[in-house]
Amino acid sequence: MATEKITMPQLGESVTEGTISKWLVQPGDTVKKYDPLAEVMTDKVNAEVPSSFSGTIKELVAGEGDTLSVGELICYIDTEGGSSSEVPASPKKEETTPDSKKETSTTAAAPKKDTDARGRYSPAVVRMASEHGIDLNQIEGSGQSGRITRKDLQKIIDSGEIPTAENKQASSSSSDSSVVESKQENLQPKESASGLKPISVDTMPGDIEIPVTGIRKAIAQNMVRSKHEAPHAWTMVEVDVTNLVDYRNSVKGDFKTKEGYNLTFLPFFIKAVVESLKEFPQLNSMWAGDKIIQKKDINISIAVATDDALYVPVIKHADEKSIKGIARDVKELADKVRTNKLSGEDMKNGTFTVNNTGSFGSVMSTPIINYPQAAILSVESIVKRPVVMNNGMIAVRDMVNLCLSLDHRVLDGLVCGRFLARVKERLENMTKESTSIY
C-alpha cells in the first residue's frame, strides 16, 4: 500500500490558486484514475479535479471553501502496490523510549492536537489574517484536523474581538490600561495589502445581502491585481465596416446551411487582429519584471460571460486559422462555457484578448487588461451613422469603435496607434473579392 498526494492543478493561464467549492468524495471512498474528486472555482473556470491514481481516499487536507495555491496539497490517497515514500498526513506512532515516556507523561494533561494540520494555512487564510492583523497561533480551527478556515477568521472579524500578538502580550501583563488600549487599537479598521481599508456598508430594511461566491472573489482579485500592477492607457479608433457588413450578410445564409452554425462578425475582427499582430508583435507580449516576453504563438483569448461570471477561453494558434476555423473555435469555446465543460487546458497560454462588448449594445468601453497580457481590444456595437465621405457627401454607413487598453510598461502610444490603424485598414477593405472565409 502506497500513500500518494493529490495537489491543486493548474486550471488556466495566470491562475495561481483555486477554491474547493465541493468535495465529491469522502475518506474511505474508492476511486478510479481520472474520477472527479472535487469541484474547484477560479477566476477563469469552474472545473473538477480528477484523481491521478486508483485507490482509497485517505484524508481530505483541504476543506470546502479553502483557497489553495497551484501545487498545494488537497488530499491523500492510498494506492495498491509498492511502498510509500510520502509521509502520511496523520502522525505515526513513535517508538517508546524512556525519554519519550517521560516527555509524554509530563504533557499528558494537555489535549493532543494535530499540529501539522494546524500549521498548514491556505494562502487565502494567510492573506485574510494579514489584512486584519490576526495572530493565527491563537485561533482554534474548525476544519479537517483542526485546520483554520476562512469561515473561522470571518467569525472572529465579525465579532470584533481580533486576537493579535499585542493582545497576547497585553493579557499576560498586569496593566489593565494596556489591555484596554490594545483592544481599542484592534477595533480600528486594518489596511489590506493593497493599502485600502476594508469596506463597511450600513444596511437598511429591504436591502438584500448577496454572498460573494468564490469565483466572484477570484475575479475581483485578478481585476484589482491588473489595475494595481499594470499602468493602463487607453485609445480608440472609429472604423467604417460597411463593406464587411454587406459581405457577411451575403454569405451568412449559405454558411449556416453548409456548416451548421452562425457566422458572426467576431471571427472577421479576430482575423484582422491576428494579421496585424504579425506586423506588430510588440502587442503580443507580457511583462515579466526585469524583461518583456514577446510571444511567438498568437493565441487569442475571448471573453465569454454567463449570468454570474466571466470566462476567458483561448483560441490557440489563431494566426494559422481561416475565418471559418476561428468561427468554429469561438462557437465551441462558448458552448463549453455555457454547458460548464470548459477545461483548464482551454484557458491556458492566451497572448492577446479580444472582447466582444458590442454584443451587449455597448459603443465605447475601457476594458481591464487580462493580466499578464499587455493589451486587450474591445469590439463595440456596429451602428448606422451619417458620415461625411471623402467627396464631401453625407452617407449612412455601418460604423464601429475599437477600444484598446494597453500596459504602458510594455507598450507606447506610437506602436499601438499603428497597430490599430492596420486593424482598421484591414476591416474597411474586407470584401468578398479580397477576403476568403475558407
Does the pLDDT value for residue 5 go beyond 80? Answer: yes
Active site residue 408: yes
Spans of all domains in the chain: 2-98, 119-195, 218-428
Read off the DSSP letter of residue 146: G
From the centroid of its chain, how far is CA 66? 15
Q: Which three cell numbers stand for residue 82?
A: 509498492
pLDDT bucket at 194, cuts 50 / 70 / 90: very low
Active site residue 412: yes
Which one of the listed residues 246, 254, 335, 412 is annotated catalytic?
412
For the domain 2-98, what is the CATH code? 2.40.50.100
Mean pLDDT, the chain, as a whole number? 82
Does the pLDDT value for residue 300 go beyond 80? Answer: yes
Mean pLDDT computed over 338-350: 88
Which one of the listed residues 228, 246, 297, 408 is annotated catalytic?
408
**Least confident among 50-54, 73-77, 85-89, 221-225:** 85-89
Among 117, 92, 407, residue whose Cα is nearest residue 235 = 407
Write the pLDDT tens digit of every residue in 32-43. Answer: 988 889 988 876
CA 211 – CA 313 distance, rounded (Å): 26
Q: pTM (2 decimals)?
A: 0.62
Q: Which three cell numbers stand for residue 291?
A: 524583461
Write the pLDDT tens digit of every residue in 136-169. Answer: 888 887 765 677 877 778 788 777 777 766 555 5
CB atoms within 10 A of CB 285: 20
Please say whether the structural domain 218-428 has been given the CATH code 3.30.559.10: yes
Q: What is the pLDDT of residue 70?
A: 87
